Amino acid sequence: MTSFDIPEALVRAEIDEAALRDNAAALASQLAPARLKCVVKANAYGHGVDIVAPALFAAGRREFCVATIPEALELRSLLGPEAEILAWLYGPTTDLDEAVRAGIELGVSTVASLDRLAAAAQRTGTTARLHLKIDTGLGRNGLAPDALVRAFEWLRRAAEDGCPDIRVVGIMSHFAVADEPERPETAAQSAVFSSAHGQLRAVLDAADGRLGDSEALDVHIANSPGALTLGPCPGTSARVGLALYGLSPLEGTDSEALGLRPALRLLSTVINLKDIPAGHGASYGLTFTAATDTRFALVPGGYGDGLPRAASNRAEVAIRGRRYPVVGRIAMDQMIIDIGAGNEDVAIGDEVVIFGPGGPSAAEWGIWADTINYEIVTQLSARVHRCVRNDGTDVTEGGGR
């Protein structure tokens, strides 16, 4: 029986820093000579950026990626000036000054963003460092072919005008189906990306170094699936998110097969037990009715904590190493577990592994909720208390996010 150190932490996520370090080391080795960029967007995929980023930084990782500028600025405050931080998602009215001043490298997906970055650099007296983002087929953000031509024209004019405030330090894109290695679109995207890279190099060379060094460009298109399925890794670096946390981005392939360890265990505790007669219902809507006499265990954890309601009557949890079904609808704060009639093996106060080592996987919860493991971990709410597990036994407090 395990009790929580923090009485109010009814649902908590334990983060294994050793697993994070080991995953990063394994991925970096596999990617070499390309470099590992650690993606810590969306609160480090739900794991807690204030735990994950410092742990990776302490392990020697220096390259980090997030999506938004607020995420980037938070990361800068956590890690200090030595971290290289890239962000790429911002709107047409987003204030870029603070990001430029903080040395955040920014992805550029529109020609208008070049104007805005140049203006921010001039206002702040800081050189803006940018990565041209190319739409090679995913159809999301990024410079489409006509916009790319105009971006190159903008850069040529900037070089002619002696613009000293812009440095092109990278070129980037994003694979769409690298998790399905047999599909031809990945090779097609790579070809488009390679062509754009060549054109950018020519533009920079013609500018005689005024806008950046073509030989030193950071070239990155691979995500977790690309990093794991393509060899050698294309480009000079890869932006790795899900795999960094020990979760598999490949359908039909688990973490162990990839040499990775899940870094997160989502835990709760049994807070009530009751004997239920045959015919008794469970939770809202009474979507489950006990066919025989049984015993219910009440476990904190619901969609208010980020658990998917769609997994109702399908999910399982583990108590003392044994799996039990979730019955009835998952509510905002709690769920009902059917442990079977006369079960004396489960007691109030017992630890419940909702997912992670020792229980079901995030991927299984994804199947039960008709979604993917990415969504299962990233939707964990702020109410879930994050803490650090270093060696599988000792738990210390993290930042609490």
90 catalytic residue (yes or no): no
Residues of the chain with pLDDT under 70: 1-8, 391-401
pLDDT at 250: 95
| Average of per-residue pLDDT values in the chain | 94
DSSP H or E run through 117: helix 111-124
**Cβ atoms of residues 223 and 175 within 8 Å:** yes
Tokens of 328: 């009835």
Per-residue 3-state assignment (H helix, E strand, C coil) for 9-76: CCCEEEEEHHHHHHHHHHHHHHHCCCEEEEECHHHHHCCCHHHHHHHHHHCCCCEEECCEHHHHHHHH
Q: What is the DSSP string of 186-238?
A: HHHHHHHHHHHHHHHHHHHHHTTTSS--GGG-EEE---HHHHHHSSSPSSSEE
pLDDT score of 84: 98
Domains, in order of start, for the chain: 33-245 (3.20.20.10), 264-397 (2.40.37.10)
pLDDT value of residue 269: 97
Rounded Cα distance between 208 and 49, Å, is 40
Q: Kindly name the residue from 37, 41, 90, 303 that is annotated as catalytic.
A: 41
The pLDDT of residue 231 is 85
Any idea which residue has 């060379």 for tokens? 205
Active site residue 41: yes
Select which of 90, 245, 274, 284 is catalytic: 284
Task: Name 133's bridge partners.
Answer: 172
Distance CA 212, CA 206 (A): 11
42-45 long-range contacts, Cβ below 8 Å, gap at least 24?
42/67, 42/378, 43/378, 43/401, 44/245, 45/241, 45/242, 45/244, 45/245, 45/374, 45/377, 45/378
- The two three-digit tokens of residue 228, written as one number: 């794991």
Q: How far apart are CA 19 and CA 38, in angstroms?
A: 14
Residue entry with tokens 């993606």: 39
> What is the model's pLDDT at position 397?
52
Angle between helices 145-160 and 111-124 (to 10 degrees): 30
How many other CB atoms are there within 10 angstroms of residue 128's CB atom? Answer: 27
Please give the pLDDT value at position 115. Answer: 95
Show the tokens assigned to 183.
Answer: 């599909």
User: What phi and psi values does residue 350 have, to the nearest 5 degrees?
Assistant: -65, 145
